[in-house]
Structure 1
Amino acid sequence: MNHTHKPAGKGLRTRLFQIIFESDTPLAKGFDIALIVAILGSVLVIMLDSVPAYHAEYGSLFYWIEWGFTIAFTIELFVRLYCLEKPWLYLRSFYGIVDVVAILPTWLTLVIPGGQSLVVIRLLRTLRIFRVLRLMQFVGESRLLLDALQRSLHQIFLFFFGIFILVTIFASVMYLIEPAEAGFTSIPMAIYWAIVSLTTVGYGDIVPVTPLGQAITVMLMLTGYSIIAVPTGVFSAQVIRAIREERYSDEACPGCGHDRHEKNAKYCLICGTWLDETHPDPKLAETDKEGQE
C-alpha cells in the first residue's frame, strides 16, 4: 500500500488505486510494464522526430503517434486523480508535476503559436520510470545506493574541494607562463583548460606552447589518472558497508561476544549459543522435555 496517497473510496476507486499505485498484483505489474513501454515509446518518437531526414519523411506519422501517447497519458493522469483521496496533494508532488509537464507542451501547441519549440520538455517523461521502479522490486536496491551516497557526501565534497584548489593552482601558473595567443587569456580560461586536462579529456582548443607549460600539462594529466578513481572508491566502500549492515546484525552473542551474525541467524556461528533472547531455545526445550520423561 502506498503510504503517501490513499484511495478516494471503496469499490472502483480502490481497485484503480491498487492497479496504478501498487505493484504487488499481476494486473498492477502489467500496468507498470505497459506504462514503461509507453514512456520509452513516446521518448523514441520524440528522438526520431528530431532527425531532419525522418521528420521530412515520417513527420505526419510521428505527429499522430505523439498525440496518441499524449491522450493516453492525459487519461492516465485523470484516472490517477480520480482514484485518490486528495488529488491536489498528488499534483503538488514531484511526480505529479512531472506528469503535468510531460503532457502540457503537446496541448499548448493547439493554442500557442510556435509551441512546437516546447515539445522537447516531453523528454521529462523518462523521469516517470523512476516512480514505477520505486514501486517494484528495486525499492531495497535504490534505498541502499541512496544511503551509501549520503554517507559518502562529506568525503566526496572534500575530494572535489581539494581538486578545485589543485586546478586553480595549476591554472594560475599556466596563466603566468603561457602566452594569450595559446588560449590562456584569463585565469577562468586557464581553469577550464586545467579541468579538461585533469580529467584527461583533452579537447585541444587550448594547448600550451612553452616547454615548461607542456611539462606541467604532463604532470596534471598523470595526476588526473592517479586520482580519478578516488570518488568511485569512496562510494564503493560505502556501498559495501551498507550491504554488510543490511545483511549482518551488530548484536553480540551472549555466549562468546561475537557480533557479526546474519540477521536471520538463530545460533552463533562460533559457539552455537541461541541468539534470540526474546524466545527460548527450542533445542533446550526439547532437552528439558526429554529429561522430564
Structure 2
Amino acid sequence: MPHAPSSPDAPGTDTALQGWRLRLYTIIFESDTRAGRTFDIALIGLILLSVAVVVADSMPRLQPRWHGTFIALEWVFTVLFTVEYVARLVCLRHPLRYALSFFGLVDLVALLPTYLALFFPELHVLIDVRVLRLMRIFRIFKLTAYMSEYQSLGRALRASRRKITVFVTAVAMVVLVLGTVMYVVEGPANGFDSIVTAVYWAATTMTTTGYGDITPKTELGRIITSMMMLLGWGTLAVPTGIVTAEITSQRLAQGAASARTCPECLTEGHLPEARYCLHCGAHLPPWQREGA
C-alpha cells in the first residue's frame, strides 16, 4: 500500500481540494451524492433544451416569429454553460488537463459560436454565421459525461476495438471479393460497369440496405445476391455480440465500483473504499455517500 506524501504541497495530495473547492468538485464530478445527481440531471436538461432551441431556430415556420426569443434563450444557455465551464476549471488542481480533454474541448466548441458572432459580425460576408451556430449541436456529446451507460459503452468499445477491427476487415475482404465476382458474372450490360460500382453494390447488399439502383439480371448473380443477403443478417449480429460480451465482463469485474473521479487525471470507477487513484496513484478525496 503506497503512503501519501508527507509534504502538504507535494503532488498527489488533496490539500488543494478543501472547503468550497472540494464541495464544488464533489457536486460537479461526482454522481454518488444527491447534489451531484441533481447537478447532472439539471445539466442534461439544459443541454437538451439548448439543442432543441438550435433545431427550432432552423425551422422556417418558427424563425420569423420566435427568432428574437430563440436568440435570448441562446444567450441564457451560453451564460449558464460558461459558468459551468469556469466552475469545472476552478475546482481542479490541473485545469489545463480538463480543458484539453475531449469533453473540455466539446465545452469550448459549444461556447465559441455565440461569442464569435458577437465580436465578429462581419463574418457573414465570408460565411453565414448560422453555420457557426450549428456547432452548438456539439453540446449533445456532453450527455455522455453524465450517464454511466454511455461511459460503460465507451469502455466496452475501446476494449473490443481489436476484435471489431478484425471483423470489419474480414467483411471488407468479402465485399471486395464478391463485388469482383459480380462484376465478372453480370458485367457492364447489367449495370456493373466497374469493380468500384460492383463493390458499392456488394456493400449495400451485405448491410441489407439495397438501394435498388443496381440489380442482378442473371440467375447466377441472383443466387450470389441471395447468399449475400443471408450472410448480411449474420454479420450484423457479430459486432453486437462482441460489445455485449465486453460490457457483461466489465460489469462482473467492476463489482461495487462507484462513480468516484480522480481530481488529478479524471479517471472514474474507483471503489468506495479506495484511497488512491488506480491510474495515477493520486490521493482521492473522501467518498461522499448518498444523502451527503
The TM-score with structure 2 as length reference comes to 0.71
The one-letter amino acid of 2:61's match is: A
1:129 to 125, 139, 143: 143
The one-letter amino acid of 1:130's match is: T
Q: Work out which of the two has the higher radius of gyration on C-alpha atoms and give 1 or 2.
A: 1
Root-mean-square deviation (CA, aligned residues, Å) is 3.0
Q: Is the 8 A contact 2:144 2:150 kept in 1?
A: no
Q: Is the 8 A contact 1:6 1:84 kept in 2?
A: no
Q: Deviations over 1:100-128 (max 9, x none)?
A: 10110121112133322111111111121
Q: Please state whether the residue corresponding to 1:229 is helix, strand or coil.
A: helix
Gaps of 5+ in 2: 1-10, 256-292
Residue in 2 that maps onto 1:117? 131
Q: Deviations over 1:141-196 (max 9, x none)?
A: 66665554445433333222222111111111122233436442321221111011
Residue in 1 that maps onto 2:99? 91
Q: Is the 8 A contact 2:192 2:198 kept in 1?
A: yes
2:220 to 212, 221, 224: 212
Pair 1:237-2:245 in alignment = yes
Q: 1:4 to 1:58 in 2, by over 3 A?
A: farther
Partners in 1 of 2:117 and 2:79 — Cα distance? 14
Partners in 2 of 1:7 and 1:60 — Cα distance? 47
Higher relative contact order (CA 8 A, sep 6+): 2
Q: Is the 8 A contact 2:153 2:247 kept in 1?
A: yes
Residue in 2 that maps onto 1:13? 21
Partners in 1 of 2:133 and 2:234 — Cα distance? 43
The one-letter amino acid of 2:98's match is: Y
Partners in 2 of 1:45 and 1:124 — Cα distance? 13
The one-letter amino acid of 1:122's match is: R
Partners in 1 of 2:48 and 2:15 — Cα distance? 28
1:43 to 51, 54, 61: 51
Q: Name whichever of 83-92 and 164-173 sits farther off.
A: 83-92
Q: 1:56 to 1:213 in 2, by over 3 A?
A: farther
Q: Deviations over 1:231-286 (max 9, x none)?
A: 22333334444445456xxxxxxxxxxxxxxxxxxxxxxxxxxxxxxxxxxxxxxx
Residue in 1 that maps onto 2:73? 65
Residue in 2 that maps onto 1:172? 180
Q: Is the 8 A contact 2:145 2:151 kept in 1?
A: no
Q: Name whichever of 34-43 and 159-168 sits farther off.
A: 159-168
Q: 1:94 to 1:233 in 2, by over 3 A?
A: closer
Identity of aligned residues (%): 41
Q: Please state whether the residue corresponding to 1:203 is helix, strand or coil.
A: coil
Partners in 1 of 2:93 and 2:15 — Cα distance? 5
Q: Report the Cα offset of residue 45 of structure 1.
A: 1.1
2:206 to 198, 221, 226: 198
Gaps of 5+ in 1: 248-293
Q: Please state whether the residue corresponding to 1:53 is helix, strand or coil.
A: coil
Pair 1:34-2:34 in alignment = no
Q: How many pairs align?
A: 240
1:225 to 209, 233, 239: 233
The one-letter amino acid of 1:119's match is: R
Q: 1:245 to 1:24 in 2, by over 3 A?
A: closer
Partners in 1 of 2:103 and 2:14 — Cα distance? 16
Q: 1:151 to 1:29 in 2, by over 3 A?
A: closer
Q: Is the 8 A contact 1:197 1:220 kept in 2?
A: yes
The TM-score with structure 1 as length reference comes to 0.70
1:108 to 109, 112, 116: 116
Q: Name whichever of 8-17 and 58-67 sits farther off.
A: 8-17
Q: Deviations over 1:212-238 (max 9, x none)?
A: 322321221122124332222333334
1:181-192 map, 5 Å: 182-192=190-200
